[in-house]
Every structure is written in C-alpha cells, then in structure tokens.
A and B are shown apart, each in its own frame.
Chain A
C-alpha cells in the first residue's frame, strides 16, 4: 500500500524550513524506491511543532515535530514510530479544540476540490442553492454569528441590509487585510482551506443577490495570494464559480486584489477606497457600505473568518453553530496564540475559554521561561492586561466590561522583561505611521502622544505629562473618525492603568 506522507506548505511552516524538509523527503522516497507519496497540506496550527511531518497509519496520522533536513532519513528507519509525537489528533493542544472553521486545515490538500468535498465541503452551498435568500440570511442571523474582524457586528443583520437595498449590482467584499500583530488565522485558512472561503462568499452572494466578489488580501501574504488565485481558477474550471454555480441558475464570480502595505486598509471604508484605486482614506459613515459601498453599490464586507463560518452554519443548521459559545458570543473563535509563548498556534474553541487556559494550558507559559507579565489581546489596538485579569472568559461583552476587546482573536504574550511605557509609546508611534491622515486627532494626536511619552520616559514632569496623555487619549477616543484613532488609547491607557510602575520616569534608562 502506498505510504502517504504529509508536509505543510503553509507560510509559517515554510518559514522554519518545511520546503527543504519536503524536498529531502521526496529525495529519500526516490533513493529508497519506496511506494510512498508526499502530500502538501495547510498547517494544523500547532505552530511550535513546525515543520510537522505526518505519516499515515491504520490508526491515524503519526506526527514528527520540528523536523529538519538532517532528521529525514531517521523518519524512514522508525517503523515503530518511537521518535514520533504519536497520533497527531491525540496531541492535547489539538484534541482539546472544537474545529468547525478549521476542520480540514492541515488535513486535506488545499487545492483538491475532490478532497474538499469528501471532507464535507460544498454541503452548505448545496443547501443554500435550495433556499431563498431570505431563508439563508435568517439562518445566519439565528446562528448568532458576529463579525470576526473585530467589531463583532451581527453578520446576518449586515446581510439583511444589503439584501433589502435595491441595485443592479451588489458586491461581496472579503476583508483579508489581516494586519493585527498576533493574528494569522485568515492567512492559515486561505492557505490551508481556500475553497471554504470561496464557498462562504458564494453563499453570501446568493443570499443578498450579489454576483461579484473581491478578496482584498494584504501584500505581506504572498503565499495566501497564490493559493487563493489557484483555488479560484480551479473553482471556476469545475463550475463552482461562474455563470452557473454548481450547474444551477445562480451566478457568482470573484477575484483577488492585493493591498499595498497600509494597515488602515483593514478598516472597511478605507479598504473600499483602496479597492477603487484611491488612497486608503476612511469614509465617514453614514452612508453604510451595506447601502453605498464598493463603487457606490450595496456591499457586504466581512472578515475571512466570518465568511468561512457560513458554510458550516448552512450545512449543519443555525442551532448547531449557536449551541457553541457563551452569552451573546456564539459559535467558535479561532484564537491565535503568539509572541513570547512556548507553544504558539491556532486554538479554535467555543467562546468562553479563559485567557489563563489559553496562555497556561495551551501555551505552556513563555518561550523564554520567564514569568508572563502582560498579554495584549485583540491586536495593536487591544488592551495590555496583567495576570489578575487572566480569568476573563473569551467573550465580546466580558472583555468590553473590563476595557478590553477580543478583536480578531490574537493573544500576544510578553515576559517580565517588557517595558510597558515603551509598548504604550509604540502604540502611538504605530498609529502615527499608519494613520490615513483624514481626521486630526489621529493624524496629529498620535505624534504628539508619542512625544509626550518620550518626556515621561525621560522623567520630565511625569505627573503633568501623564495627565496630558490621558487627556489626549480621550480626544482620540471620542474625536477620531475610525477605530485606528478611536482604539489606540486602549493599549496606552491599559498600560498606564495596569502597569503604572513603568511610567515613573527614567524607565527607559533603567531597562537598558
């Protein structure tokens, strides 16, 4: 029987040598004249184990972690798999997950439509094709799905608005401008299971009456861009996309557009400006994009993970999805654990999981072995939290009550060498670099804020300058046009509130 061997071609795996390992395995197969086949998959999301090589066995796939080229011959001389991690599915990090969106990621060949289908793909789309647009939307509303990009707005409600708008042309735009530090779920999904996103976009199109979709992917993600382009071509060839979706009477096609290195283009109106070929400057709302979006037409803009959740909802029913989660946060959230952490990776679980479980049980503490001092949840605009808040469950409302946000689900861990005044300064510096310049609080306030923090760090009128930074944060929060200026105060104020000792002046000198 042919021995199947799996090596990821996910960007993270490649970044630590998966390509060389795959080539070494292919060479070893040839050298030994084995009846074996090498298959490239997405990543399982057990990123600290990359490159993770898996051998098919009658009991399931057996994994070898952090394989390098020199280890390869030994893999073929280990019939009892004594040097392995055992069955990959039994690794607690993976076993204790609830994979709905990432069910296929790391298992199937991302560009095999046949495998996609044999692992449950297209079931949601086939159901949707038998339903009216209104019924599809009601399923999505009932599922409780909320925007996974960060804002948490109910996806179905957005779709309802677009469906009700009258226009000759409507659009589905997928926001794949995943710029938050600590996040990589969109990237992993587009590289590991691109047909799922395509399926979700087609369902959205059928639901609201849109026939054209765009995926706006950041240029920093070349592997995802390549994978999505190939997947779209395959879907078109096989009649999943095009003038007759799956041979039926619905029409939908889509294309990839590439960002150009502007963080602000993750903001939906700025993304639309960019798609139209302009500077990525934020548009005032109203009008909502659902009414006047891309090229002035009604437009659904959803994050990758929101759209990728839809096929499961249609295939299994709204109640199935809604049964996961807590409070008003329904379904699963792909949490991305990153930074100074021993076991970084992707953890898809129902909402409600505590930050402590994420950091300690999954993450195993810091990579440096030093104590955890702070975590930043929700990207560069998220709050920095100390350990006494780690029992907070992952839930939109509970996080908001504690002046935090889950955002796109990124969790970045810092050990006790972190200087929180520097982190606060960086938040303002980042806002200054990435501000689109449209509104004054963000454009000017970010620069003035960074300068004022410099003064604090140099010990200059610490109390007065701290009051000034707090005042400035209030102006940014209340006076900015979009979330970049509006949320930059979160990392700054949370650092000030939870780690005041780092702002006592001269901290920079003391740390260095």
Chain B
C-alpha cells in the first residue's frame, strides 16, 4: 500500500525488482511516478543505480529521470531511519505549537529537522499539511496519523 512511503521498510539493493516494477507499470499513461513510488516503497528509497535502468526501459534520458526524482519531496535518495516522524509545520499546526513540538522532538531524538539520528533510529522531517488541521498539531509516525500530538506521545510511539 501507498502508506509505505511514509515509513522506512527497506530491502537491499538489487536491480531485478526495479526491472520487474518498470516492466509491470510501463504500460500506464505517464508511468514514471508510479514506478518511482513503487521502488521507493520497496527499497525505502530510490537508489542512484535504479535511474539508468528506468531511463532505459522508458526510453528517457537519465537526466530526465534524475530531474523527476529530485523534484519531489517523497522520493528518498538514501534509506531513512528505522522510525520516520513527519511533523506538520504548516499554519494550522503552527497555531497550535508545531514549532515548539519540533524543537522538543529534535532535542529528545538528538537530530535536526530533516536529518536521521546517527544510530539510524529516527528520521525527523517536516511535512506541509496532513489534512488534520482541526486536530493540530499533527504528525505521521511510521505511516500512522496522529492528531493533538505532544512530544511524550510521539516518543512513546517511537519507543514501541
């Protein structure tokens, strides 16, 4: 399911699944995003080595594929931490203290927003709106949506 892009699964690099995914989806109208989503989901990121394979199979240049991968926030270039915490920092969540929450989480996870902790345990990222604006502040923790979140609840979820 699509929720996987918000989590950190990960399979070791292997070109075969890339070929399989591209083969399976290349018949779609506009297949590149669906293919990249599928690879991102399967490996937890889009490996550099996948790009020439996809480019070749879709008859695109490698630069075109590279351009698409780098444009969209969702496509990771390296695996994330074992837990991915995406905190909303759009206006509705700001009005309920999202910036303070992010500061607390940075401290407790020992990371700066946008980074993965050195032990690979947690990736802390910003997201701009999860559509849960009446129950702010909101976050996605390992793909699960939380509303009225505080640092203690977020920590408890990551420690599970």
Contacts and interface: CB of A to CB of B under 8 A. Distances in A.
Contacts of B96: 339-340, 367
B2 A222 contact: yes
A55 B58 CA distance: 54
Interface stretch (A57-65, A175-183, A469-477, A497-505): A175-183
B67 interface: yes
A280 B72 contact: yes
Nearest to B64: A278
Contacts of B68: 277-279
A182 B72 contact: no
A260 B91 CA distance: 21
A414 interface: yes
> Chain A interface residue count: which class?
35 or more
Interface string A322-335: 00000000000000
Interface string A215-231: 00001111101100000
Most central of A178, A181, A278, A281 by chain B CB within 10 Å? A181
A54 interface: no
Nearest to B71: A279
Given A184-B132, A257-B34, A412-B91, A15 B147 contact: yes
Given A16-B135, A220-B130, A412-B92, A277 B33 contact: yes
A180 to B, nearest CB: 7
B73 A345 contact: no
Contacts of B131: 11-12, 178, 183-184, 186-187, 220-221
A415 interface: yes
A12 B90 contact: no
Contacts, number: 163
A338 B5 contact: no
Interface in A139-154: none
A186 to B, nearest CB: 8
Contacts of A338: 92, 133-134, 136
Contacts of A418: 95
A92 B72 CA distance: 43
A180 B31 CA distance: 27
Contacts of A276: 29-30
B1 interface: yes
B5 A181 contact: no
A112 B19 CA distance: 38
Contacts of A257: 30, 33-34
A430 interface: yes
Most central of B58, B67, B71 by chain A CB within 10 Å? B71
A279 B67 contact: yes
B148 interface: yes
Nearest to B88: A181
Given A219-B74, A279-B68, 17 more contacts: A16-B147, A181-B93, A183-B133, A219-B5, A258-B33, A260-B36, A260-B72, A262-B72, A276-B30, A277-B30, A278-B64, A278-B68, A339-B92, A339-B133, A412-B91, A418-B95, A430-B90
Interface of B: 1-3, 5-6, 29-34, 36-37, 58, 64, 67-68, 71-75, 90-96, 127-136, 138, 140, 143, 145-148
Kindly list the 10 A-B residue pairs having the minimum CB-CB distance in the complex, ordered from nearest. A344-B134, A277-B32, A181-B90, A338-B133, A260-B72, A261-B73, A15-B147, A339-B95, A47-B134, A260-B74
